[in-house]
Amino acid sequence: MSRIIIVSNRLPTKVQRTDNDLAFTPSEGGLATGLGSIYRAEGNVWIGWPGLVVDDETERQQITTQLRADSMQPVFLNDDEIRGFYEGFSNETLWPTFHYFSQYAVYNEQHWETYVAVNRKYCEAVLEAAGDDDTIWVHDYQLLLLPQMLRKARPHSTIGFFLHIPFPSYELLRALPWRTQLLEGMLGADLIGFHTFGYMRHFLSSVSQLLGYPSQNGRLELKNRTVLIDAFPMGIDYERYANAAASEVAQEHEQNYLAALPNARIILSIDRLDYTKGIAQRLRAFELLLQRYPEWQGQATLIMLVVPSRDQVAQYQELKEEIDELVGRINAEYRTITWNPIHYFYRSLPLEELTALYRMAEVALVTPIRDGMNLVCKEFIASKADRSGVLILSERAGAARELSDALLINPSDMNQLAEAMHEALIMPEEEQKMRLANMQALVQHYNVYHWTRLFMDRLVYTKIKQMTLATE
């Protein structure tokens, strides 16, 4: 029987140490939800790091047994591996380069060596779990070398790869000392998926310029194999957000929040702390709105949720300080006894509170400098079923290719951003509803289950086609 093996840096369950025990919490990310129905099916398995350093063998056994019971197989990483592979090469080299922040990229040979070694570790874990007939689906930039490692060990396996972040233009990629190894690593897959056609084109152009392989209609002809490249824009679990936002708990939270903010016109901003998300630019644009349109003073209220992330990396610490400083300055300058312009939270919130915020916000500000897709904007849309609201969306988020009924802006243009906020606050309700309805239809249809099915069907089709060609 053919099974499906999913591989990603992190498992969909997070293991944490409590006072005298271990706590297993399911991850709420879109990937975990979308693939949840697959990896839990008969015999399938998800391989990844459980999010905790475990040196003690008995504890490892305990974690392995518990995760296995839920179709997961842990890969354990030590402190050095986390430093070099995860924080180092993945988040200080690949992340900035792929998001066009090359000036932040660190080129460290030791980080690279650890990245290779950890990809090999994942490879061994997959080989141990997978049979020759199994289908392997590898995810994201932490595991770019894994498809080729697997291909060498299992020349006939069916291997898919999906990149969740942007693929940059050749000019960015070529700066990386390890560019050819990275491309070759990805090319071990039978099917490589990106969120948009733009990323796919950048990838094909880099492969052609650095490796000399030509392509036609997304088909790359290597010396002895064909690799298919395509765009699969990822969706969300629409019903989950629509139902959560309509739930009694969310409505109760909303009533409490609104009671505390009488007369507020609420603008919402939700992100992980990241320089790619444009958080500081957003704050400056909000300040410009208050300066340019003083009538919004006393009313326009920005609720800004920043979820802590990668706080070991220097640029993230600096960004946190910049945001703290900007929020403090703007609030000090504009606040009155009865109105606070920015309500800033540096923490994560449970889903019910998050959806209550989506539900009550009149405007969502999703203005990343670069973003592979961005799921927050799709969650806002799903949470607004039968209501009104306006989405302001960066043209540099992958989601902008689909959501043309949002107010699309250039995230570095403060003027345009401030004007878009004003436009959103005065937009007639009928127009808001019309735009939302169009986007809801799209986000509901192209949900995460659709995405998973499309990728898997395409992968199986690619393999059958290859086998047919080989026997002809």
Residues with a known catalytic role: 164, 371
Decide: is 323 part of the binding site for ligand GDG (CB under 6 A).
Answer: no
Site string (205-234) toward ligand GDG, x via CB under 6 A: -----------------------------x
Total Cβ atoms within 10 A of residue 352: 16
Decide: is 351 part of the binding site for ligand GDG (CB under 6 A).
Answer: yes
Decide: is 348 part of the binding site for ligand GDG (CB under 6 A).
Answer: yes
Smaller CB separation from ligand GDG, 342 or 373: 373
Site for ligand GDG in 233-252 (CB under 6 A): 234
CB of 275 to ligand GDG, least distance (A): 12
Among 349, 408, 437, 454, binds ligand GDG (CB under 6 A): 349
CB of 401 to ligand GDG, least distance (A): 12
CA distance 215 to 207: 9
CB of 23 to ligand GDG, least distance (A): 16
Which window, 124-132, 153-161, 348-356, 447-455, contacts ligand GDG (CB under 6 A)? 348-356
- Of 425, 360, 431, 359, nearest to 392 by C-alpha is 425
- Of 121, 118, 162, nearest to 140 by C-alpha is 162
Phi and psi torsions of 461, nearest 5°: -60, -45
Among 233, 372, 389, 411, binds ligand GDG (CB under 6 A): 372
Among 281, 374, 447, 462, binds ligand GDG (CB under 6 A): 374
Among 289, 376, 403, 420, binds ligand GDG (CB under 6 A): 376
- Of 109, 98, 87, nearest to 316 by C-alpha is 87
Site string (383-402) toward ligand GDG, x via CB under 6 A: --------------------
CA distance 88 to 217: 36
CA distance 83 to 79: 6
Which window, 185-193, 260-268, 332-340, 345-353, contacts ligand GDG (CB under 6 A)? 345-353
Among 14, 60, 164, 335, binds ligand GDG (CB under 6 A): 164
CB of 111 to ligand GDG, least distance (A): 21
Tell me the site size for ligand GDG, rule CB under 6 A. Answer: 21
Decide: is 165 part of the binding site for ligand GDG (CB under 6 A).
Answer: yes
Decide: is 192 part of the binding site for ligand GDG (CB under 6 A).
Answer: no
Side chain identity at 206, as an amino acid letter? Answer: S
Decide: is 352 part of the binding site for ligand GDG (CB under 6 A).
Answer: no
Site string (249-288) toward ligand GDG, x via CB under 6 A: ---------------------x-x----------------
Total Cβ atoms within 10 A of residue 1: 7
Smaller CB separation from ligand GDG, 179 or 195: 195
CA distance 387 to 100: 36
Smaller CB separation from ligand GDG, 32 or 173: 32
Decide: is 373 part of the binding site for ligand GDG (CB under 6 A).
Answer: yes
CB of 148 to ligand GDG, least distance (A): 22
CB of 28 to ligand GDG, least distance (A): 5
Smaller CB separation from ligand GDG, 126 or 375: 375
Smaller CB separation from ligand GDG, 164 or 265: 164
CA geometry: angle at 98 spanning 95 and 102, to 5°? 85
Decide: is 367 part of the binding site for ligand GDG (CB under 6 A).
Answer: no
CA distance 36 to 239: 15
CA distance 372 to 209: 23
Site string (28-47) toward ligand GDG, x via CB under 6 A: xxx-----------------
Contacts made by residues 100-103, CB under 8 angstroms, sequence distance 24+: 100/166, 100/168, 100/172, 100/369, 100/370, 101/275, 101/276, 101/370, 102/172, 102/175
Kindly list the residues in this chain that would bind ligand GDG in the complex (CB under 6 A). Answer: 28-30, 164-165, 234, 270, 272, 305, 307, 348-349, 351, 354, 371-376, 379
